[in-house]
Structure formats: structure tokens, C-alpha cells
């Protein structure tokens, strides 16, 4: 099952800011410890094995079982991202971030709990190690209010995360700007957010996102290339360009791309998995490893955020989204063959390959489901 991450911004000060900041620091210290230990061991092959092996080391620092499991899940995710991209796990370090999270979907999420009135009641770890609880009320659009209402009303399982974006002291008082992230099933998001257009298309699209452009390739059910187009935002990636202005431009290009895809019959759009890319934002690669063919430092800063925004906006055009692994989409024999065969540049070839892999995966899943249905004892 695919998931989508809702970002709900908030601003707090005083004791609430202090407790959220301390929780994030404890979480990061615990993550440093688990990462250091994991690099020295033969690693388990599944999530349960990871939690059994490392939960105790995290819990000794952050005494909340859900946050301790969140630490382990984060380190495991970095390991899986490195493996997916062919990066040496033992050559990574944590980047400059302040986050804390739960690790499982549940309703209600016990440590980052959604309540009526669009409030989140959040368990905190104070600087002295004691347990606290604070209330945060994020800012959200009317559309998100309807979705959050549905999550609360229908008891949808979700995972909570708190991301601290900025903090400081003003008038002798600590202030903090952050986001509550709510991870929900993608089908729940589509059910409540798709409303503006009907889509009768039958084609498939692939998206390759880079620091200055979005490349779209459109294919049919046989994998034949029907169309392709590049949507540029070069000015937004220039050094010194304002963040707000940059995202305004990128947002316009995203809508232009989705509108083009809709007008050209795209029903399903395939993207690189933002979970694999997103986890890279929390780490950096030592020395020359940054130049690894499957690792681009701008990926960790930029691309996953754009991919998430595309997934959030696609329902406005009744376009479904699917995810594939990013490994080999820019450097592989198949990628090079597509460039030569169709005379494509490397980014358009990547978009084409993403579409092909997404289509193949969808057809494989459909064939598997059909086979299971034919062999089911309930089938007449």
C-alpha cells in the first residue's frame, strides 16, 4: 500500500517550544547511537528484527517506546535507502535536522494524537528526561480540514511526525516553527481530495525530477512512447533566489505539468519513491562517496519535496500516482538503450524508464491478483 505525507505548519513559543525542541534533540541523540551501533553489526532482514536488536539502545536515551521504535525505523530506512541506491551505509552520517516520530500506523496515534478541533496532543521528553504532553494546533487549508475530519471520523490509522524547521529567541522567549506530518494511506487521500475533474484517460506517465526541471514521458499500455515534455524552473534553483518565490514558481510548473498530462490522456503517473529519496535528507555521505552515480546531493534537499507536492496535487486532475524504486533510473544499461533508441536526453529517458517500470509493476500486480482470484475456492 502506498502512503502520502500531509504537512501541517505551526508556530509555538515558551514552554511548548522548549519541550518540542528537547524531544527532537533526544531523538537525534538516540538516532546517532543506533546508527553507530548498526554500522558495526550484521543487520536483520526485517522490521521486527531491527526493533528487537536496537530498540533497547534507543529507549535508554528517549524513554518512549513509540519514539524509540521511530528511531530504529529511521535508521533502518536510511539503510534501505542506501541499499536501494547502491550507497555504502557505513559511509553515511546524520545531517542537520531535528525530527521525532512514531514508527507505526495506528488510530489514534498514541504519542502524536489527533484530537477534535484540529489539535495534536504530543508526548514530549523534557531536558531532564521526564515525560510531558503539549498541545499544538497547526494551520491548515479548508480542504485539509475536510480530510482531517474524515481521518478522525472514520478512525483512519495514521503515523505522526514532528519536524522542527526553525527556532530562536525573541523578546527573551524561545519560539519555534515546525510541521506536524500525518502519514495516511494514499487511497484515503484520493477518496477525499479528488473532486475537480473527471479523467477518462488510458495512458501512463513517468516523472523525472531534477534541480531545475520536471520531465514528463507519456506511454501507452504496450509501453510505446506517445509524448514527452520538459517543464523548466531554472530560476528557482539559482543561488540567492527567495525560497517562497522559488516554490511559487515550482508550484506553477507542477500544475502546468499535471494539466498537460490530463489533456494528453494520462490516468496514472509514476514517480520515484519519495520515502527512499526523503530519508536521504536526514543524512550525508562521507568524502568521495557523494559522487556515487546513484547519489546526488541535491536529491536529498530538493527532489523528494517536489515529488511529494506532485503526489498531493495529482488528485485535483483525477490522476492516480504510483511509486517505483529510484535505483537505476538515471544510470543503467536499459536507460542508455532508451536514450539511443529514441534520441532522448538523459532526463527524458529517465522519465520514460520510470513510466515503463511503473507500468510493468502494475501489470505484474494485476496478473497476480487475477491468478489468485481464479484459484480462490470462493470463485465460481
Neighbours of 273 (CB within 10 A): 19
As a whole number of angstroms, the distance between CA 348 and CA 264 comes to 17
State in words which class domain 197-368 has: alpha beta
Integer Rg of the chain from CA: 22
Look at the block and give the residue holding cell 530506512: 77
Coil, helix or strand at residue 327: coil
Burial 31-50 (b: 16+ CB within 10 A, else e): bebbbeebeeeeeeeeeeeb
As a whole number of angstroms, the distance between CA 83 and CA 51 comes to 19
Whole-prediction pTM value?
Answer: 0.75
As a whole number of angstroms, the distance between CA 31 and CA 15 comes to 24
pLDDT of residue 285: 55
As a whole number of angstroms, the distance between CA 210 and CA 268 comes to 21
As a whole number of angstroms, the distance between CA 347 and CA 356 comes to 14
E strands, the chain, in order = 3-13, 92-94, 99-101, 112-115, 119-125, 131-136, 159-170, 173-185, 203-209, 213-219, 225-232, 266-272, 283-285, 320-324
As a whole number of angstroms, the distance between CA 158 and CA 201 comes to 31
Look at the block and give the residue holding cell 497547526: 138
Q: Are 332 and 294 in contact (CB under 8 A)?
A: no
pLDDT of residue 297: 45
Q: What angle do CA 4, 324, 286 make, to 5 degrees?
A: 90
As a whole number of angstroms, the distance between CA 311 and CA 306 comes to 9
Burial 212-251 (b: 16+ CB within 10 A, else e): ebbbbbbbeeeeebeebbbbebeebbeeeeeeeebbebbe
pLDDT of residue 108: 86
Ranges in the chain annotated CATH 3.30.420.140 = 197-368
Walking along the chain (380 residues) 10 residues at a time, the average pLDDT comes out as 84 97 97 96 90 96 96 91 79 87 89 94 95 95 86 91 94 95 85 74 93 93 95 81 82 94 94 68 55 50 80 88 79 86 92 94 76 52
Give Cβ neighbours of residue 155 (< 8 Å, ≥ 6 apart). 107
Amino acid at each position: 500500500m502506498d502512503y502520502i505525507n500531509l504537512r501541517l505548519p505551526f508556530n509555538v513559543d515558551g514552554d511548548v517550544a522548549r519541550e518540542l525542541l528537547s524531544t527532537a534533540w533526544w531523538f537525534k541523540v538516540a538516532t546517532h547511537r543506533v546508527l553507530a551501533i548498526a554500522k558495526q553489526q550484521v543487520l536483520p532482514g526485517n522490521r521486527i528484527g531491527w526493533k528487537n536488536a536496537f530498540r533497547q539502545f534507543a529507549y535508554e536515551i528517549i524513554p518512549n517506546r513509540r519514539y524509540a521504535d521511530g528511531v530504529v525505523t529511521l535508521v533502518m530506512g536510511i539503510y534501505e535507502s542506501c541499499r536501494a541506491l547502491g550507497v555504502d551505509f557505513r559511509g553515511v552520517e546524520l545531517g542537520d535536522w531535528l525530527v521525532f516520530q512514531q514508527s507505526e500506523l495506528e488510530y489514534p496515534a498514541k504519542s502524536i494524537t489527533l484530537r477534535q478541533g484540529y489539535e495534536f496532543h504530543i508526548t514530549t521528553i523534557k531536558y531532564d528526561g521526564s515525560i510531558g504532553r503539549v498541545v499544538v494546533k497547526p494551520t491548515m487549508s479548508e480542504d485539509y480540514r475536510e480530510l482531517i475530519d474524515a481521518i478522525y471520523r472514520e478512525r483512519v490509522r495514521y503515523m505522526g511526525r514532528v519536524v522542527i524547521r526553525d527556532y530562536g529567541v525573541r523578546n527573551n522567549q524561545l519560539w519555534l516553527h515546525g510541521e506536524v506530518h500525518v502519514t495516511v494511506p494514499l487511497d484515503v487521500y484520493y477518496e477525499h481530495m479528488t473532486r475537480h475533474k473527471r479523467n477518462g484517460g488510458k495512458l501512463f506517465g513517468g516523472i523525472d525530477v531534477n534541480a531545475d526541471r520536471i520531465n514528463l514521458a507519456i506511454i501507452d499500455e504496450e509501453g510505446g512512447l506517445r509524448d514527452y515534455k520538459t517543464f523548466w524552473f531554472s530560476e528557482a534553483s539559482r543561488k540567492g533566489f527567495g525560497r517562497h518565490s522559488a516554490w511559487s514558481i515550482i508550484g506553477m510548473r507542477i500544475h502546468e505539468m499535471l494539466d498537460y498530462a490530463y489533456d494528453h490522456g494520462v490516468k496514472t503517473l509514476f514517480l520515484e519513491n519519495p520515502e527512499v529519496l526523503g530519508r536521504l535528507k536526514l543524512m550525508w555521505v562521507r568524502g568521495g562517496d557523494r559522487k556515487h552515480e546513484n547519489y546526488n546531493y541535491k536529491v536529498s534537499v530538493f527532489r523528494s519535496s517536489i515529488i511529494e507536492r506532485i503526489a498531493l496535487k495529482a488528485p485535483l486532475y483525477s490522476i492516480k500516482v504510483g511509486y517505483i524504486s529510484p535505483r537505476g533510473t538515471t544510470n543503467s544499461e536499459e536507460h542508455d538503450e532508451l536514450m539511443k533508441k529514441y534520441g532522448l536526453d538523459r532526463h527524458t529517458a529517465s522519465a520514460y524508464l520510470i513510466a515503463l517500470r511503473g507500468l510493468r509493476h502494475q501489470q505484474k500486480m494485476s496478473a497476480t491478483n487475477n491468478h489468485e482470484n481464479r484459484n480462490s475456492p470462493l470463485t465460481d
